[in-house]
Structure 1
Amino acid sequence: MSGPSVDIVVCIHNALDDVTNCLDALDRTRFTGPQPGVILVDDGSDRPTASALRDWAGPRDHVRLERRDSPGGYTVAANTGVAASRADLVVLLNSDTIVPARWLDKIARVFDHSPDIGIVGPLSNAASWQSVPELAAPAGGWAINDLPEGATVDDMDALVELAARSVPVIPRVPFVNGFCYAIRRAVIDRIGAFDETGFPRGFGEEDDFTLRAVDAGFGVALALDTYVFHAKSKSYGSATRSTLTAAGQEKLRLKHGAGRLERGSLTMRRNPYLERMRREVGLLIEARTGTTTPAMA
C-alpha cells in the first residue's frame, strides 16, 4: 500500500473506562496507507488497567505494549513511545480521546500538502483554541462541548468536514494542542525528544516541542476537516491540573519568553479560520438540533 507509515502512541495511567473507549475507536480506524502501528505506553497503571492492556494488545500483531512499573509522568511516557517508533508519522493520542473512522487519512493529507509541515492537529470538543463550536465556558476557562444530542463522534467529524468546505486553506498556527499531536519523523530526527526535565508531567511539553520545531524551520498546521473527541481525562483532578498548568506556563515563559507566548496566544485567538469554523459548526448543529450555540452570536 502507498502512503506514509504511521505509529499511534497512547500514554496510559489508569482511567480504564476512557482507555477502553479510546482503544475501541482505534480498532475502527480506516487508513488507506499501511496498517498503523499502535504503541501503548502503560505508565505504571494499576493491576486492572495493566491486565486490560495486555489482553487488548495480545491478539493484535500491530500493537506494541511498553510497560513502566512505576509512573514517570506523561512526558517520560511520551518519549518512551516515540523512541519505540520508526514510522514516517508519529501521532501522540491522549488515552481519553475517541477518534472517528477516517481521522488518520485526513491528518496525513495535511502533511502531504507541504513538505515543511512538521506538526498537525485536528479540531475537538475540548482542545483550547481548537475547540468547536464554543471556545470559552460560560463560567470562565475553556469550553468542554458536549456532543449534540443523538450524535456520534463520526457524525461530528462529518459535520466538521462539511463546515471546513467554507475554509479553502490549511491554516498555519503557532501552537497545536497535545491531545492529538501528529509529528513528521524529520522533526524528531532534527530536534530530538520532548523536554521531560522541564515538563515531567506534561502541561506544556507540546508547546515547547512546537516552538522548538518552528525554530528548526518546520511549519505547524491544523486539519480543520477532522474532529477528535476529548473526554478530559480523570488521571488528574481539576486542582492538580490547574497547578500543573500554571507550572508549565511558567517554564514556557522562562524558556521561550513571555512575549512570544503572548503573541502566539493572540494569533490563535484572532485566527479567522478558527473563528469561521466555530461559527459554521454552530450553524450546522443548530440545523441538526434546533439549538443555538454562543459561537453563532
Structure 2
Amino acid sequence: MDILTMSGIRVAVVIPAYNARDYLAQTLQSVIDQTHKALEIVIVDDGSTDDTASICRRFAASDPRIRILSSENRGVAAARNTGIEASKSSYIAFLDADDIWHPTYVERMLSALHPLPNTWGAVYALHRLIDPEGYCTRSGSSLNARDSIFSRHLVFRFVGNGSGFMVRRAVVDKIGGYDPSYASKGIGGCEDFDFELRTAEHFKIETVPLGLVGYRSHSAAMSSDRSRMARSLLAVTERCIARNPQLPAFVVGCARASAHLYAFSKFAALKDWSSAATSLKHIYHHSPMLASGILARLIFTKADRAKRRALSKIWPARQQKQKNLRKFEEIDPLLPLVGGWSRFRTKTLLSRLSEIDRSGECSAATSLLGRYVAPERSSIVKHPKV
C-alpha cells in the first residue's frame, strides 16, 4: 500500500494524564508534530489536581483532533480503557503523558502493521531513555522479536514501557482492554506488560526495531516506585503463567527467573533484604550459578561504592555535568540501539525460546483464552468531556 493511501487511515492516540503539568505540553507537541496527520487524540485527565486540564484545553483550542475526557483518579489502566471506548479508529496507539514520540512514530508503526493479515494484532517500537529536560541519557535495549512472540516476550519483555505499542481495535475486542485490578490492589505499574502478553497470547506481533519512543525517567514517574514495580511485574508474570497451563516448564522457569531478577534489583536498591532474599531464592532454584554470580556482584558493588565514598572525602570530585547529551528529537531514529544482553538474557536463550514460539508449544493459549475476559475489563465506564 502506498504512502498516500496509508495517510488517510485514522489512528487513535490515547493519553492518560494524572498531574502531568511538567511534561504534558512536550508530550502533546510530539503527537501534533507527527508526520501521519489522520489522528484522533484522546486525552483522559485521570483526576488531576494540578494544571493538567488547562494545558489540555490550551492544546485542544488550536487542534480539533484533540478530545478531553475527565474522570476521578482510578489509575492508568482505567484511564486507558476510558480513552479506548471513546475512540473510533481501527488502530489505537498508547502514549503516557510524560513520554514523547519521534515525529515518524505513527507513520512507521502503521506502515509496519496495516499491510499484514489480521492475525497480526499489534506492533511495537523500542525506546531511548530521556531525562526531565528531554535529553537522551542512554539507549534502551536493542533486543526484539516478531511473529508469534509469546514465550520470548514473557521472558525478555521487549517493549519496556507503555508508550511503544499500537494495536488493531480487534485486539481490544478480543482481550477486553487493560486490567485495572492491579492498581486497585496497590500493585499498579506493569499493566502495559500484562496487556502486551494477553495480546501475544492471541495474535502475532510485528516490531519496528528503532528508538522511536523517548521514555522519560524522573522522580514522580510511576516507575520510580521500585517496590511497587517489582511486585507488579511478579504479579503479572504469575497471572500469565496461571492462565496458560500448557506453557512448557522451561518457559515457566525462565519467566519466573526473569521477573525475580528484575525484582531483586529493585528490592536490593531499596535495601529491602527480606524481599531481595526471596527473589534470590527463586533465581537460585532456576540457576544456582546465576544466583551466585548475582550475589558476588552485589557484594563487589557495595564494596566498590564504600571505597568511592571514602576516597571522595579525601579528594572531593568535581561536579561535572555531561556535555555531550542530545535532545531526543535530534537523534536519527536509524541510529542503532545497543545493549540488552546479560548473563541471563543470552543469544542461546533467545534462540531456544524462538524455537518454542515457532513450534507452537504455546498455541493452546488461543483456545483456552477464547473464553477468558476478566469482568473488570469488560465494563468500561464512560466519563463526561471537560
* Alignment partner of 1:61 is 2:74: no
Checking the alignment, whether the CA contact within 8 Å between 2:189 and 2:222 is kept in structure 1 is no
Query: Which residue of structure 1 aligns with residue 100 of structure 2?
Result: 98
Checking the alignment, whether the CA contact within 8 Å between 1:106 and 1:225 is kept in structure 2 is no
Given the superposition, is the C-alpha separation of residues 237 and 266 from structure 1 closer, same or farther in structure 2, using an over 3 Å criterion? closer
Q: Distance in 2 between matches of 1:110 and 1:265?
A: 31
Aligned with 1:147 (options 115, 133, 136) = 136
AA of the residue aligned to 2:146: P
Q: Which has the larger radius of gyration?
A: 2
AA of the residue aligned to 1:198: Y
Query: Which residue of structure 2 aligns with residue 225 of structure 1?
Result: 210
AA of the residue aligned to 2:84: V
CA offset digits 1:145-184 (Å, max 9, x no partner): 95389xxxxxx9xxx9xxx9xx9x9734424332322111
Checking the alignment, whether the CA contact within 8 Å between 1:15 and 1:235 is kept in structure 2 is no
CA offset digits 1:35-82 (Å, max 9, x no partner): 1110001111124222111121133211110112x3111111111111
Point out the more displaced range, 256-265 or 174-183.
256-265
Point out the more displaced range, 46-55 or 5-14.
46-55
Checking the alignment, whether the CA contact within 8 Å between 2:175 and 2:199 is kept in structure 1 is yes
Deviation at 1:120, TM superposition (A): 1.7
Aligned with 1:82 (options 65, 81, 84) = 84
* Alignment partner of 1:254 is 2:238: yes
Query: Which residue of structure 2 aligns with residue 214 of structure 1?
Result: 200
Given the superposition, is the C-alpha separation of residues 121 and 233 from structure 1 closer, same or farther in structure 2, using an over 3 Å criterion? farther
Checking the alignment, whether the CA contact within 8 Å between 1:94 and 1:179 is kept in structure 2 is yes
* Alignment partner of 1:171 is 2:142: no
CA offset digits 1:215-241 (Å, max 9, x no partner): 22x0123211352211135444766x2
Q: TM-score, normalised by structure 2?
A: 0.53
AA of the residue aligned to 2:213: V
Q: Distance in 1 between matches of 2:14 and 2:340?
A: 36
Point out the more displaced range, 5-14 or 198-207.
198-207
SS at match of 1:124: strand
Checking the alignment, whether the CA contact within 8 Å between 2:19 and 2:50 is kept in structure 1 is no
Given the superposition, is the C-alpha separation of residues 233 and 86 from structure 1 closer, same or farther in structure 2, using an over 3 Å criterion? farther
AA of the residue aligned to 2:136: L
Q: Distance in 1 between matches of 2:10 and 2:253?
A: 36
SS at match of 2:103: coil
* Alignment partner of 1:121 is 2:124: yes
Deviation at 1:11, TM superposition (A): 0.8
Checking the alignment, whether the CA contact within 8 Å between 1:11 and 1:78 is kept in structure 2 is yes
* Structure 1 vs Structure 2 CA RMSD: 3.7
Checking the alignment, whether the CA contact within 8 Å between 2:127 and 2:210 is kept in structure 1 is no
Q: Distance in 2 between matches of 1:219 and 1:35?
A: 25
Query: Which residue of structure 2 aligns with residue 20 of structure 1?
Result: 25
Q: Distance in 1 between matches of 2:340 and 2:42?
A: 40
Q: Distance in 2 between matches of 1:211 and 1:238?
A: 19
Query: Which residue of structure 1 aligns with residue 45 of structure 2?
Result: 42
Point out the more displaced range, 221-230 or 70-79.
221-230
Query: Which residue of structure 1 aligns with residue 173 of structure 2?
Result: 189
SS at match of 1:187: helix
Q: Distance in 2 between matches of 1:74 and 1:223?
A: 25
Checking the alignment, whether the CA contact within 8 Å between 2:237 and 2:255 is kept in structure 1 is no
Point out the more displaced range, 37-46 or 109-118.
109-118
AA of the residue aligned to 1:37: E
Deviation at 1:6, TM superposition (A): 0.3
Q: Distance in 1 between matches of 2:82 and 2:22?
A: 23
AA of the residue aligned to 2:100: I
Unaligned runs of 5+ in 2: 243-248, 259-331, 342-386
Checking the alignment, whether the CA contact within 8 Å between 2:125 and 2:209 is kept in structure 1 is yes
AA of the residue aligned to 2:30: A
Checking the alignment, whether the CA contact within 8 Å between 1:7 and 1:87 is kept in structure 2 is yes
